[in-house]
Amino acid sequence: MSEDIPDPATGLTPKEKNVVRDTWAIVKKDIKGAGYELFVRFFTENPSYQSLFPVLKDIPISEIRGNKKILAHATNVLYTLTALVDNLDEPDCLTEMLKKLGGNHAKRGVNLSMFDNLGKTIIGLLKDSLGPEIMNDFAISAWNKTYAVIESVVKVGLDEASKTSA
Ligand code: HEM
């Protein structure tokens, strides 16, 4: 069925892209709540990363929820993730966005393993907030594949930025 034929640019099938879009649409309904949750989880799982963020570094993890600066930052990050999900069918645009994301982040001392860990946090958040019926094996696999695509292009941006700054 055409629903199962992978897009040659990303390797994702229409069915996989749809499940990613549908699950993200649920998270997006409460973008602020999800933003706080994402950052609390990310720093709980990776405490050393908090020092990379000028607005977050001196804030105890217990005070992250409710902090206006973090809310603004988290909203920004979640809107960017939404833009990535919205462009799964636009590989040229997606590629440029991801290279830029990698380039921007290289300047901040962010590396590929940090992106990898963020992917684990995002997928963990989806599983816990949507539950096993919605985040079933197919949805988990579709997210893993999608995040692998994101990471592979972010890597290009990170590598290019490190070459130009060397
Ligand atoms: C798909 C993954 C990610 C997305 C969509 C994302 C998105 C963003 C956005 C929208 C911004 C602010 C605007 C900008 O300058 O571009 C930002 C800043 C930042 N991001 Fe990310 N990011 C991601 C991954 C990461 C990872 C893995 C780390 C590392 C721990 C990280 C660390 C930072 C830092 C340190 C800043 C600067 C914060 C500041 O100056 O206040 N990001 N990110």
Contacts for 47 with CB less than 8 Å, ≥ 6 apart? 61
Distance 58 CA to ligand 1 centre (A): 17
pLDDT single digits (tens) 99-120: 999 999 999 999 999 999 999 9
Measured in Å, residue 3 CA sits from the centre of ligand 1 at 33
pTM score, whole prediction:
0.95
Asked whether 146 and 20 are in contact (CB, 8 A), the reply is yes
Ligand 1: residues with CB < 6 A are: 49, 52-55, 73, 76-77, 80-81, 101, 104-105, 108, 110, 114-115, 118, 150
159: CA distance to ligand 1 center in Å?
Answer: 17
What is the model's pLDDT at position 40?
Answer: 93
Tokens 């989880």 correspond to what residue?
41
Around Cβ 160, how many Cβ atoms within 10 Å?
14
Report the separation in Å between the CA atom of 114 and the middle of ligand 1, taken as the mean of its atom positions: 11
d(CA 61, CA 65): 8
pLDDT at site 125: 97
Q: Report pLDDT digits (tens) over 15-68.
A: 999 999 999 999 999 999 999 999 999 999 999 999 998 888 888 888 888 888
Question: 157 and 107 in contact (C-beta within 8 Å)?
Answer: no
Q: Where are the domains of the chain?
A: 13-160
Determine contact, residues 78/34, Cβ cutoff 8 Å.
yes
What is the CA(53)–ligand 1 centre distance, in A?
Answer: 9
Contact assessment for residue 63 and residue 110, using Cβ atoms and an 8 Å cutoff: no
The protein residue with its alpha carbon nearest to ligand 1, atom 43, reads: 77
13-160: CATH architecture = Orthogonal Bundle (1.10)
Asked whether residue 1 carries a pLDDT value surpassing 80, the answer given is: no
